[in-house]
Structure 1
């Protein structure tokens, strides 16, 4: 690109120089020719005035010395009517130009004779021509003057084209450098460095590309960070059904006399819950989801009862579910199922005693409280990511609740009670679902 821009710039300068130099060169040639003719005419007129008296009286004329600035010095000759050279410089016998001037049909006669540019003027006394003044300059002198001028013009043209080349290199470097930096930023972005940012060159078009690259890098970085966080939280979420399945199998091994079919059936139920959890997480991880239907709270609470039994009964703990006229809610069942699963797992892992789940009416929201008889949480933030990783699941549960237009909060630290608030109406009135 750099070479192409420089080549086009130099070519444009060359074309412009040629288009300007051609008429200027022709004008220079015409100017020098006219200027030389004017010099010859002045020299011839001055000589004609000086020798007219001698020619009219039949005396031998004497050519006056030329002025210091007269470029026709030594080129003036005086001829008689018969065409013979009387004084000055020139051929011994005049040529066609001198004869034409002697006929007195024209005041000034110009032309070329041999290698000279010649101008002849007649000297007239009344109706009689008494002589001819011839002024001449070598054509080579005129050619030299024109050639030197053209050479100077060519030098200026070369200098102009060279300046164009230097300026093109400078501006091309300024133009290409931000593009090279954009390439480096794009390569860093391709290598996974989402902190890469494009340069600002002060050129609108390049700056717009840099801004688009920056926006893309930031968007990809946020997306990847969100996906990584979701993957970490989702993997933590899968431990709940796996823990229940493990506890059921361990309990079956510790009671050899028990019917193995019951343990197998419980294991299959836990495997089904694990499969359901995986499906829910995959569905919730998609950017576009299906339109929300009305939540089947009875079926959801029944699933909570089964999951809670698998988590709590092996430890001799109980699960109690209470319904207090809960209103209908239009939210994704998968999200609510996973939130309650996190709360149950949290109560089973960190709580004590009976776990109570209450579904109630909270005005314009459906509230689901999950409480246990564990120790006072005090000032601790259960949603913070602790070194043990206990806050990961709760953070996932909160993000899922907020994605459905609801909230998840610690409503009471003692006994520990978490409350899930879900809107009773569709949180997207226009029917557009994320």
Structure 2
């Protein structure tokens, strides 16, 4: 765009300068010629005054240019020259200007006692064009300078327009790439500033909608997992095996559907937030402690006293904790002890959930694999949470039996930390 504007201004400026400078150049030439002819005419008239007097030769000598006086008797005074048709025409009493070799001649007639004399003054081409070429060169340089100045000004003007537009394009690409913190800096013409403000409002609105979606997903996760776990326990407690299996299958189907909806919604709305892992884990353990108390489970908790920021949003981390604790309640018998430990590590934090149940094989980490006919999405949610911030998930069997799930989380960047989540 800058190049096209520069070419447009260069073409426009050139046309305007041609329309102005060409007539000016012709005018300068005409002025120079008129000046030279006026000086030659004045010299001829000064000699004409002396025609018929003894001072004629002296008057011719005083003129600093080639002068010839054609006398009525056929003689000449001054620079020798032939009688041309123009001289014979001037001898009839008319003043004549004629073209000749090497310039122009000014012919002025003067009356003497013996007849009509003709005074001829030669104006060379060099005198006719004196100063013209220098003036033309000055006009050419002025025109080039004006064209260059116009191009420079057009480039500055184009830059003032294209720079904000380029900024809008970069912000649009960042928003399309998922960076919802990208904002355009209003600048440039009013129309471009209006577009930048509208883009910022759109980005803010998108961010608000995604925050509302994350909150809704988190609320849905918190509301449904506990009733589903209770419903599963009620199904397992039925005396009729067939009825228990049938109800268990329905619960599994419902849990698969709910987990799939929650996982997909969380995947679409996942942001680049951070939170205080200690506060989130403490709140979720407190939530599940009510059910643990009802089932007679002993819960050991080890959390740091200071805030422990991680590069995961509060809702996403809460869903991860809910998935891990929900697995413990769903796949271990009532009364089985469990522990939740959160500790800092050089790269961020390590969340470990351990239980004293029957345990499971590490191969069950794959999505859709589990024990007891469950969905297997709980560990997948935890794995996705860890990998979303650059961490990882590990499943192992403690020496005393049971299962241990470790979720390694990374710390947020220095300019992204928001312990409040």
Q: Do they superpose with TM above 0.5?
A: yes
Residue 259 (str. 1) matches residue 245 (str. 2): no
- Paired position in structure 2 for 1:248: 234
Which runs of structure 2 are paired with 1:122-137 in the superposition (5 Å)?
A: 122-125=109-112, 129-137=115-123
Of residues 102, 105, 128 in structure 1, which corresponds to 2:91? 102
List gaps (5 residues or longer) in structure 2: 267-286, 295-313, 323-421
Partner Cα distance (1:190, 1:388) in 2: 25
SS at match of 1:52: coil
CA contact (8 A) 1:48 1:123 kept: yes
- Paired position in structure 2 for 1:75: 66
SS at match of 1:94: coil
CA contact (8 A) 1:181 1:198 kept: yes
SS at match of 1:121: strand
Which runs of structure 2 are paired with 1:134-213 in the superposition (5 Å)?
A: 134-213=120-199
Question: What is the CA deviation profile of residues 343-378 of structure 1, one whole-angstrom value per residue up to 9, with x for unaligned ones?
Answer: xx99985999xxxxxxxxxxxxxxxxxxxxxxxxxx
Shift of 1:53: 3.6
Cα distance change of structure 1 residues 242 and 83 upon mapping to structure 2, 3 Å threshold: farther
Cα distance change of structure 1 residues 118 and 175 upon mapping to structure 2, 3 Å threshold: same
Cα distance change of structure 1 residues 161 and 350 upon mapping to structure 2, 3 Å threshold: same
Which runs of structure 2 are paired with 1:268-307 in the superposition (5 Å)?
A: 270=251
CA contact (8 A) 1:249 1:263 kept: yes
List gaps (5 residues or longer) in structure 1: 67-71, 253-257, 286-344, 353-384, 394-434
Partner Cα distance (1:220, 1:192) in 2: 11
Which runs of structure 2 are paired with 1:343-362 in the superposition (5 Å)?
A: 349=291
Cα distance change of structure 1 residues 113 and 82 upon mapping to structure 2, 3 Å threshold: farther
Shift of 1:122: 0.5
CA contact (8 A) 1:248 1:266 kept: no
Partner Cα distance (1:158, 1:386) in 2: 66
- Paired position in structure 1 for 2:355: none
Normalising to structure 2: TM-score of the pair? Answer: 0.57
Partner Cα distance (2:131, 2:197) in 1: 60
CA contact (8 A) 1:118 1:137 kept: yes
> Mean alpha-carbon deviation: is it higher for 263-272 or for 173-182?
263-272
Shift of 1:281: 9.1
Shift of 1:228: 2.2
Partner Cα distance (2:316, 2:161) in 1: 51
Normalising to structure 1: TM-score of the pair? Answer: 0.56
The CA RMSD over aligned residues, in Å, is: 3.7
Cα distance change of structure 1 residues 188 and 351 upon mapping to structure 2, 3 Å threshold: same
CA contact (8 A) 2:97 2:107 kept: yes
Larger relative contact order (Cα-Cα within 8 Å, sequence gap ≥ 6): 2
Of residues 119, 125, 131 in structure 1, which corresponds to 2:106? 119
Q: How many residues align?
A: 281
SS at match of 1:63: helix
Which runs of structure 2 are paired with 1:13-32 in the superposition (5 Å)?
A: 13-32=13-32
CA contact (8 A) 1:248 1:267 kept: no
CA contact (8 A) 2:46 2:59 kept: no
Cα distance change of structure 1 residues 250 and 280 upon mapping to structure 2, 3 Å threshold: same
CA contact (8 A) 2:235 2:244 kept: yes
- Paired position in structure 2 for 1:219: 205
Shift of 1:250: 3.0
Residue 37 (str. 1) matches residue 52 (str. 2): no
Partner Cα distance (1:389, 1:17) in 2: 73
SS at match of 1:194: coil
CA contact (8 A) 1:85 1:94 kept: no
CA contact (8 A) 2:97 2:106 kept: yes
Residue 11 (str. 1) matches residue 45 (str. 2): no
SS at match of 1:197: coil
Partner Cα distance (1:83, 1:95) in 2: 13
SS at match of 1:93: coil
- Paired position in structure 2 for 1:342: none
Shift of 1:112: 0.9
Cα distance change of structure 1 residues 239 and 214 upon mapping to structure 2, 3 Å threshold: same
